[in-house]
Amino acid sequence: MKIWLDGGLQDTESARVSVFDHGLTVGDGVFETVKAVDGRPFALTRHLDRLTRSARGLGLPDPDHDEVRRACAAVLDANPAPLGRLRITYTGGHGPLGSDRGEHGPTLVVALGETTRRPDSTAVITVPWTRNERGALSGLKTTSYAENVVALARAREQGASEALFGNTVGQLCEGTGSNVFVVLDGEIHTPPLASGCLAGITRALAAEWTGAKETDLPLDVLERVDEIFLTSTLRDVQAVHRVDGRELPGAPGPVTAKAMRIFDERAGHDLDP
């Protein structure tokens, strides 16, 4: 297995990153997970734009998009797979912390992980912890993901594959690694970015392609709605068949099934929408 590090391809077994790298020590890094189908990345331009927004949010220098594109292409060429996930990690490196990072450059790693096609539906739980929609990291895709790891572990203990957060004012926000949509009176709604959720790339595409509305939703809307679905790079559009133990019979329901169809068709036609 080959990864990209320090400007070129390296063997995974011998690649080395400093033990003082701030991505490792304090979570001073940002990342993207990009789906790769038949060796070609999906929606890479949108991922690169978000990587830059996240990097700026942490005060990191702008990542060099040309280098990241070259790295992705080289890693995909070196590790052929029908379906994979590129992990782009970009950290503050091991220079001084803060805005003046001295002569030490950031660290860029691009690696390819395996993935499988998601099941059509899944179970979710809600967790009592909140997303801070006014926090410094709100909306950034940083490597400080430990809260998501804890919430995901709780979901798995309860036989679910995702945990959903509310925010500090009790509104529905997002999952540990996905955005959430609900169907109300036949219309599709998803929380706005002001809820503190990540600007998911799948969320944006699914909303545009299905006409979903951005709506402030109370967390307890999940107790009432008949259809819920998740979106993410690795799930695409995925129906929810159980939420906190409440069954949603027939999932994917008609509106969700249509959203899944539309997404698969459009995404299949355009690799960089």
Collect all residues with Cβ–Cβ distance below 8 Å to 220 and sequence separation of at least 6.
none
Question: For 1-87, where are the alpha helices, taking DSSP H only?
Answer: 22-25, 44-57, 65-78
Which residue number, 89 or 202, has a Cβ lying nearer to ligand PLP? Answer: 202
Burial track 248-259 (b if 16+ CB lie within 10 A, e otherwise): beebbbebbbeb
State the residue number with the nearest CB to ligand PLP: 200
Shortest CB 253 distance to ligand PLP, Å: 21
Which residue number, 2 or 88, has a Cβ lying nearer to ligand PLP? Answer: 88
Which residue number, 152 or 221, has a Cβ lying nearer to ligand PLP? Answer: 152
Contact 124, 160 (CB under 8 A): yes
Contact 129, 147 (CB under 8 A): yes
Shortest CB 198 distance to ligand PLP, Å: 4
* Token pair listed for 23: 């991505």
According to DSSP, residue 73 is labeled H
Which residue number, 123 or 198, has a Cβ lying nearer to ligand PLP? Answer: 198
Shortest CB 74 distance to ligand PLP, Å: 23
Indicate the helix (H) or strand (E) that contains 152. Answer: helix 146-157
Alpha-carbon span 110 to 43, nearest angstrom: 16
Q: Which residues are near ligand PLP by CB under 6 A?
A: 33, 174, 177-179, 198, 200-203, 231-233
Q: Which pairing describes strands 179-184 and 227-232: parallel, antiparallel, or unpaired?
A: antiparallel
Shortest CB 221 distance to ligand PLP, Å: 18
Which residue number, 45 or 254, has a Cβ lying nearer to ligand PLP? Answer: 45
Shortest CB 39 distance to ligand PLP, Å: 20
* Token pair listed for 71: 């790295």
Which residue number, 72 or 94, has a Cβ lying nearer to ligand PLP? Answer: 72
Shortest CB 168 distance to ligand PLP, Å: 16
Angle 204-210-216 (CA atoms, 0-180°, nearest 5)? 65
